[in-house]
Copies of this chain bind each other. A is one copy, B any other.
Amino acid sequence: MQATIQDVAAKAGVSISTVSRAFTRPDMVSDRTRAKVMRVADELDFNISRSAATLKSGRTNRVAMLMNDGITSWFNAATLAGLESVLHPAGYDIALFPHIDTAQTRQRFFETLPIRRNVDAVFVASFAIDPHEVEQLKRAQVPIIGINTPDIDGFDASVSIDDEQGMLMAAQHLIKLGHRHLVYVCADAVHTLSASIDKREQGFRRACETAQANGIALDWQVISVPRDQSALASISSPQALSAILSRLLELDTFPDAICCQADMIAIPLMLRLERYGKRTPRDYSIIGFDDSTYADVLGLTTIRQDPQTMGADAARKALRLIAGKPLDDAHEIAPVSLMPRNTDDVVDR
């Protein structure tokens, strides 16, 4: 029923070697021969079998992407899109391993190590793996590439933003506008190991402390609420959000500036605050992080990162690593930038 390379070779009157080359090394075959082979192949609905090709060649043409939460999260979806954009054209499939943040999934993965002998590279997106896990991963004997991993120990390559620097930039921006009562709001995962975004708080703290050290009278604090029970919940569950909101409204004096761990927190927060009569930028400034869905159309001032480009960069590094080529910049820091929009303003007194 399904034609094999033999059938094509026979019908085209060439050897199977030639058919193989017509597909994988077109330049090694004369134009005439190749044209004939391709025509016959099409007539016979023939195509090179990946299974056979990968078996013979030793490469699996497959990579794994380990991720913190779900495929649907803004960061993961964008990163995947980036990986896919360079890996697919290069002939690779991407095996997805979502929710490595749940204890069960994570343990099962690192115990059974399903990728062993079956991928050419492993991508780790936005969470940290501990030394023991690094050891396990290394048993797969393939390059390990990190994308926004808090640490680069054990990784053959990585592309990450400087989360701390980004949030520092955000807080400094607000301070420069004249704000003196700053709050940082975040939802921290309970059971999960450290994720890249946990570093953002440090940036906020550093900005405030530096300002104070420079004689600026600043009133600042961090409001941290636990992330929802379920590790599968997004960072901005209704519960987490309500918790943040009430903590904010309980404050003796409402802050004049709010730094949010992520847009996913900033956006619902500013919309909810509106119902309490707090309008931005009239009553307070607010700044997000990520520049994710709706940030532009809502006019949210934020720190922009571009996970799709980061994914594409990471994929290119992987390709080189797989090919055994050297990497001039194994560990790359991707840029973040301030996107000034309409939720921040100078303080006038």
Contact = CB atoms under 8 A, between A and B. Distances in A.
Interface stretch (A26-34, A87-95, A169-177, A210-218): A87-95
A241 B77 contact: no
A70 B60 CA distance: 26
A96 B117 CA distance: 22
Contacts of A323: none
A72 B81 contact: yes
Contacts of A151: none
Interface of A: 1-2, 45-52, 54-55, 60, 62, 70-72, 74, 77-78, 80-81, 84, 88, 93-98, 113-114, 116-118, 139, 141, 236, 238, 241, 267-268, 271-272, 293-294, 296-298, 308
A47 B238 contact: no
Contact of A268 (B71, B88, B268, B294): B294
Given A71-B84, A72-B77, A297-B236, A2 B49 contact: no
A141 B46 CA distance: 12
A301 to B, nearest CB: 15
A49 to B, nearest CB: 6
A267 to B, nearest CB: 6
B81 A71 contact: yes
Contacts of A95: 88, 93
Nearest to A139: B45
Contact of A297 (B45, B50, B238): B238
Given A72-B81, A80-B71, A62 B117 contact: no
A47 B118 contact: yes
A55 B94 CA distance: 19
21 contacts: A2-B117, A45-B139, A47-B113, A47-B114, A47-B116, A47-B117, A49-B117, A51-B51, A51-B54, A55-B55, A62-B93, A71-B84, A72-B77, A72-B81, A88-B95, A88-B96, A93-B95, A236-B297, A238-B297, A267-B294, A271-B271
Given A2-B141, A77-B71, A81-B71, A49 B118 contact: yes
B62 A268 contact: no
A239 B290 CA distance: 22
A268 B271 CA distance: 12
